[in-house]
Each structure stands twice: as structure tokens, then as C-alpha cells.
Amino acid sequence: MKNISPDVRRLTTLALLAAVAVVLVAILHFPLLPAAPFLEYDPADIPILIGTFLFGPAAGLALTVAASVLQGLTVSSSSGVIGIVMHIFATGSFALVAGNVYKKRRTRKAAVLALVLGTLTMTAAMCVWNLVFTPIFMGQPVKDIIGMLLPVFIPFNLIKASVNSVVTFFVYKPISRAVFGEKSTQTA
């Protein structure tokens, strides 16, 4: 693998991570909260966050868009365009914040901080975007959606992002070694 150019390695790794994200949604998704069975946990953000840590926030955002569109056209097609847009906003906000934090300092502590800040950013962003898109998706007035923020949307996003963050933290290093080799400068 020494003869592979860095650009080819990056592109193939990102394509593989996008494919894994789609497959993960297809094989593992389930409702987290009985009050909102339409909100399902899935681990698709894990490969996206790995790509973000490997290649930076811009690559993470591009990976988010690619995976969101692929998922929305295939395994998550029931949520339509709104589902695609919501996934881009949710995971995109997470990837941009976490990727920028981790890019500055590639240590375990920085990775934890990046994942925590990404989780909080995603949760806050989805409070806003749920007020915009969920009334359209569910056909309910905004005041009903406001009433769902604290008992439904905030816990859902905190749980989903936290689980995906913990898994990312533990699987990132072995994947980084596989992509870049044992002499990787990746420390988290």
C-alpha cells in the first residue's frame, strides 16, 4: 500500500466510510423513545465521525452530505427530502465542530472535547431545525413541536450523539492505524 497516493487513499477511504454508513442504517436502526417512534437510533454517524477525525471537518461535511443523500434515496427513503436535510444539519454540525476542535490538537483529550462539543452542538442545532422542519414533516403546529423539545428531541439527540461518540472514540485509533499504518501521527 506504500505506492498508493495520499489523494487516492483519502478518496477510497471516504467512499468506503460513506458505504459503511449506509449499510449501518440498513442493518441497525430502532426507536429510542416511545413518545417519538419516528426518531430512530442508527450508528451511521460513526463512520462519518471517523472520516472527520481522519481527514478534517471539510471532509467530514462532504462525507455527511454524501451519506445523507445515499441513505435518503435508499434505506431511509420514507423520510424523504426532509430526512436528508435534517441528517445533513444534524451530523454536519457535529462534524464541523468536532472536526475543527480535533484538527487543532490531535490528542485523546482533544478527541473527548471534540466529541462532547459536537454532541452538544448537534443537540442545540436540532432544537432549531426541529422547529423548522418537523411541523412540515408531522403536519403539526409549531407549538406542539415546542412541547416536544425537552421530553423528546433533546434527549434523543443527546443519547444518539453520545452513543455514537463513545463508539467513535474507541474504534478510531485502530481504524486510523489501518488507514495510515502503525507510524501514524494520529494520537487519539
Q: Is 185 a domain residue?
A: no
- Residue 65 makes CB contacts below 8 A (sequence gap 6+) with 88, 92
Report the C-alpha gap between 174 and 3 in whole angstroms: 22
CA distances in angstroms from 63 to 14, 24, 43, 48, listed in the order given: 7, 15, 14, 6
Q: Is 31 a domain residue?
A: no
DSSP, collapsed to helix, strand or coil, labels residue 150 as helix
- For residue 13, the domain's CATH number is 1.10.1760.20
Q: Is 34 a domain residue?
A: no
Task: Give yes or no for residue 161 having a pLDDT over 70.
Answer: yes
What's the confidence (pLDDT) of residue 55?
96
152, three cell numbers = 423528546
What's the confidence (pLDDT) of residue 184?
47
Quick: pLDDT tens for 114-152.
Answer: 999 999 999 999 999 999 999 998 899 999 999 999 999
Task: Give yes or no for residue 2 having a pLDDT over 90.
Answer: no
Q: Which neighbouring-strand residues pair with 41?
A: 30
What's the confidence (pLDDT) of residue 188?
56
62, three cell numbers = 462532504
Number of domains in the chain: 1
What's the confidence (pLDDT) of residue 77?
77
Domain limits at 120?
6-25+42-177
Quick: pLDDT tens for 35-55.
Answer: 889 899 999 999 999 999 999
The packing angle between helices 108-138 and 80-104, to 10°, is 160
Q: Is 20 a domain residue?
A: yes
Q: Is 165 a domain residue?
A: yes
What's the confidence (pLDDT) of residue 182?
59
DSSP, collapsed to helix, strand or coil, labels residue 161 as helix
Q: Is 101 a domain residue?
A: yes
Q: Can you give the pTM of this predicted structure? A: 0.91
DSSP, collapsed to helix, strand or coil, labels residue 148 as helix
Q: Is 21 a domain residue?
A: yes
Quick: pLDDT tens for 82-126.
Answer: 999 999 999 999 999 999 999 999 999 999 999 999 999 999 999
Task: Give yes or no for residue 79 having a pLDDT over 90.
Answer: no
Q: Is 134 a domain residue?
A: yes
- Residue 37 makes CB contacts below 8 A (sequence gap 6+) with 31
